[in-house]
């Protein structure tokens, strides 16, 4: 995880850039459709609709309880990791001693 940390800003930047490109493309599509009398048939928009439909069908078929269970497991893992990290930090501070006693 520490090897990934220096690259997080670039990874997030690429993700934001890709999402921005998608939003921009959709905005141009809407402008072209409503103001320029463009054709509604667009392969990129249709592919996005197919992907969205596939994801929605998968979530509907799976149901809410498995998704909530997965969310609960992730939250429990995050809390456990936080406690473990906070415990290590507290033991490091205890090893250093009270700065007022020095």
What are the tens digits of pLDDT across the range 31-85? 888 888 777 888 888 999 999 999 999 999 999 999 999 999 999 999 998 888 8
- Confidence tier at 93 by pLDDT (50, 70, 90): low
- pTM attached to this predicted model: 0.54
- Confidence tier at 1 by pLDDT (50, 70, 90): low
Residue located via tokens 């473990």: 84
Over residues 14-37, the mean pLDDT reads: 90
b vs e for 60-97, b when ≥16 Cβ sit within 10 Å of the residue's Cβ? eeeeeeeeeeeeeeeeeeeeeeeeeeeeeeeeeeeeee
Spatial distance between the Cα atoms of 29 and 35, rounded to a whole number of angstroms: 10
- Are 59 and 67 in contact by the 8 Å Cβ rule? The answer is yes
Could you give the C-alpha distances from 78 to 49, 71, 91, in angstroms and in order? 33, 11, 20
Q: DSSP string covering 28-54, please?
A: HHHHHHHHS---S--HHHHHHHHHHHH
């Amino acid at each position: 995880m520490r090897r990934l940390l220096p690259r997080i800003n670039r990874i997030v930047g690429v993700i934001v850039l890709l999402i921005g490109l998608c939003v921009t493309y959709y905005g141009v599509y809407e402008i072209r459709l409503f103001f320029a009398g463009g054709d509604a048939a667009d392969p990129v928009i249709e592919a996005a609709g197919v992907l969205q439909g596939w994801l929605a069908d998968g979530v509907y078929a799976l149901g809410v309880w498995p998704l909530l269970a997965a969310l609960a497991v992730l939250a429990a893992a995050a809390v456990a990791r936080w406690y473990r990290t906070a415990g290590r930090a507290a033991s490091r501070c205890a090893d250093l001693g009270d700065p007022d006693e020095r």
